[in-house]
Amino acid sequence: NTTAVVTASPTSTAVYTVRGTGSNGCTLTDSVTVTVWQPPVVSGGANTAICIGGNTSLNASGASSYSWSPGTGLSTVFGPVVNASPISTQTYTVTGTDLNGCIDTALVTVTVNPLPTLSTSGSATICIGSSTNLSVSGASTYLWSPSAGLSASTGSGVSASPSGTTTYTITGTDGNGCERIDSVT
């Protein structure tokens, strides 16, 4: 190139030599090195799932400083580790900057699963010494407590014969690990 100003866009570090010729025909050469740094390889961590109302930590790596967007449901938008508690499924972009000012971005998705809806049935009034069948639906597994007076502490159906008025708490867990609590007296 014969102009005084050029644009260099090398893909790796390169040394450019320039030779200048004055009006008297004298020449002088000089060189300039354009150093090319490779951008960082940023990771936002693995995609994850939470239950609505829950939270998870997102861990970025590969750079020196980080910013996250959008800020919806995040504890902070700066730093390698942020706490995410979105109310609906959200994909976050993390931008990492290395010490040379080079940047890279990565995506991480937090899937938000709903809680199961429990439905209980069974007689809630019995005579002392009698029993009643109680059942629940809406989840995958169930845990009943207290277990006193029950035929089982797990399962969707139990027989209850308490010695007095008792409130049983049922914890239902769905296939995503999300829990909802209901009760029957």
Closest by Cα among 146, 79, 131, 89 to 114? 89
Q: What pLDDT is stored for residue 112 in this prediction?
A: 98
Residue 103, pLDDT above cutoff 90: yes
Q: What pLDDT is stored for residue 116 in this prediction?
A: 96
The predicted model scores a pTM of 0.77
Most confident of 3-7, 110-114, 164-168: 110-114
What proportion of the chain, given as a percentage, has pLDDT over 70? Answer: 99
Residue 76 and residue 82 in contact, taking contact as beta carbons nearer than 8 Å: yes
Residue 111 and residue 49 in contact, taking contact as beta carbons nearer than 8 Å: yes
Q: In which residue are the tokens 């450019």 written?
A: 16
